[in-house]
Amino acid sequence: MEGLGCSFTGHRIIDRNHTEAIGDLLSRAVEYAYSEGCRTFYTGGAMGFDTLAAREVIRFRISHPDVSLVLILPCINQNEKWSDSATSAYEFVLSSADEVRYVSEEYTEGCMRERNQALVDICDMMIAYVGRTRSGGGQTIRMAEAAGKKVYNLYPTLENTRKG
């Protein structure tokens, strides 16, 4: 049995008040998805949350070899204008993925939305880090909810932890 699929979506910039707690919460979310039957994890390969999620799946895969990481990327050159450190992190994730799929060979006006839709279409559940609804992550959550997918947004939990 191949198992279910879990996609990630989230902001490119992690709130600095969340940086300490997000790793543990993300680890628990991946463990939960695994306990629910998810064996394939999908990420869009962007900076920020996508990179954190991919790295967590790579770490988790060490003790769970039945897990795979699939990158669904908007275009081949998405990191063209990224910093050296962001590109380095991206290249590590790219080289560690079990599979890489591209929505478009080159950047187009709609390739990000198409990537977001692909992440929704392929998953059974979604783990998100979204605090702003007017964002690509917000758009992806709306798509997932409209498609009847389970969405677990970590952002409100991190906000409540910070305030508590």
Per-residue pLDDT of 53-86, as tens digits, reads 999 999 999 999 999 999 999 999 999 999 999 9
What pTM was estimated for this model as a whole? 0.95
Summarised one tens digit per residue, pLDDT across range 79-132 is: 999 999 999 999 999 999 999 999 999 999 999 999 999 999 999 999 999 999
- pLDDT for the residue 58: 98
Is-contact 52 24, C-beta < 8 A? no
CATH number of 4-163: 3.40.50.450
Instruction: Please say if the pLDDT value at position 157 is more than 90.
Output: yes
Is-contact 73 97, C-beta < 8 A? no
Q: How far apart are CA 147 and CA 6, in angstroms?
A: 14
Please give the DSSP secondary-structure letter assigned to residue 77.
Answer: T
Is-contact 73 116, C-beta < 8 A? no
Rg (CA), the chain: 15
The amino acid at residue 71 is L
